[in-house]
Amino acid sequence: MENVGNNEYGTIKEIVIKDKSGNDFKMIEVDGVYLLPVGEELVGNKPEVHFRQIKDFKIRDDDVMICAYPKAGTHWIWEVIQMLRSQSTEYNKQIKEKQMLEFGMLAEIDQEPSPRLLNSHLWPRHLPTEMFSKKTKIIYLLRNPKDTIVSYFFHISATDVTVKYYGTIRDFIDMSLYKTLPYGTWYDYVLEWEKFFETTENPFYQFSYEDMHENPAEHVNGLAKFLDLRASDELCKAIVEACSFKKLKKANEEIKDNFLKYEWKEGVSIYREGKVGDWKNWLTVAESESFDKVTEEKLKNSKVKVRYTL
């Protein structure tokens, strides 16, 4: 364990956690939360500088922020909103990471034209202070923990540069339930955001990945209203079609300026299955029951609703 800097968070530390099979999982701890390592070559600064700059990052009046735990559908919603803003089904050539606070060059994000669509997996405590004083609109997306963790494992194991975690899905599931993962456990993350929404003055639109799958046109229209954007029924239906999983995956491969391609092992990308219920193909009965037990325990005093099917 190595201290890499002090700032208003306290100490930022490099952490190595071992899974149940003894595999190393390298993370950094920022303000009590474990996060993915942030490479200086990616964000242009050392972690202690980068995260201080996130807190101090200047927010514009027309910024919108998408917040979600990893693998909850941020890419999907980012594309939907870009199309609503452009009033077309043309794909934005950027990938959403270009405006992602923890993995983007903040100086470059600062130069993005308005209106910006910022996004992050960070906890409220890490986000720009001006987000709260300026009452920035927040879009918050939730996905059930079983699908989330399965998808998160395949994401982590498919990256070849930043993380280098070599545990199995069994090891990863155990970490997610009984230890921690980058961005904390799913449960700690959603409970922190639930607490935040109980007191915030920020306008927010909150829905689930499963809701979006079940009623996509309804939520495209709901997002348009939340953002004060025009959206005919025809445009909403067209955006739903253009933002289907297969079409977004194709656009990511053929249209996007994907500056993070080097992160991925050959033949894989950010898009894998995009389904509700894929966890049934990967979790054992015992693991599924463990999720149910931990979910019941962790959310016993929460209003968070979890859906595993449509």
More confident residue, 94 or 289: 289
- Identify the CATH number of the domain defined by range 59-298: 3.40.50.300
Q: Cβ(79)–Cβ(250) under 8 Å?
A: no
Considering 3-17, 40-54, 165-179, 259-273, the range whose residues carry the highest mean pLDDT is 165-179
More confident residue, 158 or 217: 217
Q: What is the pLDDT of residue 5?
A: 37
Q: What is the pLDDT of residue 44?
A: 75
Q: What angle do CA 248, 252, 258 make, to 5 degrees?
A: 150
Q: Residue 35 pairs with which residues in a beta bridge? A: 28
For residue range 138-192, what is the model confidence (pLDDT) as tens digits? 999 999 999 999 999 998 887 766 678 899 999 999 999 999 999 999 999 999 9
> For the chain, what are the domain ranges?
59-298
Q: Give the DSSP letter string of 125-143.
A: GGS-HHHHHTT-EEEEEE-
What lies within 8 Å, CB to CB, of 83 at 6+ separation is 89, 90, 239, 242, 243
Strands 24-30 and 33-35, bridge-based pairing: antiparallel
For residue range 108-144, what is the model confidence (pLDDT) as tens digits? 999 999 999 999 999 999 999 999 999 999 999 999 9
